[in-house]
Amino acid sequence: MSFPGEIVLLDGLTGTGKTMLMRIIDSYESVSPPRFEYQLEQICIGISELKIERRAGIQLLQLLIDQRQYDLTLSRELNFRPSDLSSILKSSKRNQYLCRLLNSDAKKSAEILRHGKEKLFLVVHQLLETSTVLDELPNKSLKRVLATRHPFYLFDHWASYVNMHGASPNDFTITVNNEYQIPWFIKENPEKFFSHTAEDKAAIAITELTFRQQEYLLNQDGILVIDFEKFVLSPEGYLAKLDNLIGTKPKKIAKVLKNQNLPREHINNSIQKAIYKRYRSSLLTTSHSHKNDYAMLRQRISNSVSKSHFLLLESAANMYEEEFGLWF
């Protein structure tokens, strides 16, 4: 047995704007507050990499998601840190869930679970094709949203973070190879990858994941893809598609869009939170036209990585542009 219900899964490479989309999707009626679900990521990857037997992994996923659904009806395990991006205090539903925290009505919780009234909103990092195992969960239906962004505009973020994989207890990415601790999605020789600069590692990682992303999109139906550049410049059409996917309407969407500075005149005109500055978002500027900004960023990346790795990253950029076009 398993609780019925729908899952809204927000996926995408690190740095593609999931935090921005998180706040928008959170505004929809019947969608639970967002939750970064690292355990789900780890089980899906373990199954995909043949480290967890498939049937056992599916049962673990089923139990995990049932537990999350149950906990939400009681407001268990909510994040109350005001500064955290996933804090319940940032959610449009904070009052509703704070009331549940003080309510001991078990019958009401049972009714929510029995009828599957809430869509469980989970946020993950570059699961891509490894998430297809979720389609095999009993009594659950999956609605996928995939955030994408041009590889050049992911570069600074990844270059500032890639060396934390396997080296920081604050990073929860699965790593492989005990000696070198490289991210699970890297297929290059571990020793060779480990010896690269952070900039070259970033180029390799973004390229690998961009190609995996494209293959995933070719083989999986029903994904709502939100390409960052066009979305932030003109979000209206994407919001209509979100309405259709989720099946409800958002509340106070105008206020949510304003808080996220949407629409934007320039793709780099983001909200400069401290966490974004940590990932070198300050290197992106709005003082140039989109075309000049793109050319300058491309040149800066070319100057900071080896020629072979720049060619790799450029191939990923070309693939992205063939799929989504340019925004200028």
The one-letter code for the residue type at 273 is K
Helix/strand/coil for 41? helix
Bridge partners, residue 148, by sequence = 227
Largest interatomic CA distance in the chain: 63
- The whole-angstrom separation of Cα 169 and Cα 300 is 31
- The whole-angstrom separation of Cα 265 and Cα 14 is 23
What integer is the mean pLDDT of 309-314?
Answer: 98
pLDDT of residue 276: 55
pTM: 0.92
Bridge partners, residue 151, by sequence = none
Classify residue 264 by its DSSP letter.
-
Is the pLDDT at 310 greater than 60, yes or no? yes
Helix 307-324 × helix 290-304 angle, to 10°: 150
* CA neighbor of 144 nearest in space, from 174, 116, 124, 173: 124
Helix (H) or strand (E) holding 141: strand 140-148
Any idea which of 100-104, 214-218, 286-290 has the lowest mean pLDDT?
Answer: 100-104
Band of residue 109 on the pLDDT scale cut at 50, 70, 90: low
What are 247-302's pLDDT values in tens digits?
A: 999 999 999 999 999 999 999 998 866 555 555 555 777 778 999 999 999 999 99
- The whole-angstrom separation of Cα 270 and Cα 260 is 8
Other C-beta atoms lying within 10 Å of the C-beta of residue 233: 17
Helix 18-26 × helix 236-246 angle, to 10°: 60
What are 91-100's pLDDT values in tens digits?
A: 888 888 888 8
* CA neighbor of 126 nearest in space, from 38, 58, 66, 199: 38
What integer is the mean pLDDT of 24-34?
Answer: 94
Band of residue 105 on the pLDDT scale cut at 50, 70, 90: low
